[in-house]
Amino acid sequence: MVKMTVDANIIIAYLAGDDLVVRALSEWRSSGQSIFLPTVAETEILSFSSWTDEERLSTEKFLEENFVSIPFDRSIARLAAELRRFYKIKLPDATIAATALFTFSPLITRNDHDFKNIKNLQIIKI
């Protein structure tokens, strides 16, 4: 089974109806691939203050039904701390990258700039 980790910007693009992202996620899901969602990415997605309660609840349901939540535990925290120390990246980016590394999965993102120098991190940009 193929697995991958998604960045928050991929989910945001999906929710905005971006055709390329909608097609890619739909194909991956229909082929049975495991798509991991770091809890920090979920936090970023659900933090939009302009959403109604209905929009937030609908998005929560979408995330629960379509992605495997990967919690920010001690192992990922330590790996993220190492990435922050070495690559000088922001905590959310370090956490997302650490999740991909921890799960041995490529990171699907639209923002490869913040991740491009991380050794052993496979990036798929869409």
* Number of separate domains in the chain: 1
Tell me 111's DSSP state: -
Q: Confirm if 76 and 95 have CB atoms less than 8 A apart.
A: yes
Tens digits of per-residue pLDDT, 57-83? 999 999 999 999 999 999 999 999 999
Q: Confirm if 46 and 12 have CB atoms less than 8 A apart.
A: no
Q: Containing domain of residue 62, as a range?
A: 3-125
CA-based nearest residue to 60, from 77, 91, 94, 37: 37
Whichever domain contains 54, its CATH number is 3.40.50.1010
Tens digits of per-residue pLDDT, 19-55? 999 999 999 989 988 999 999 999 999 998 899 999 9
pTM of the model: 0.94
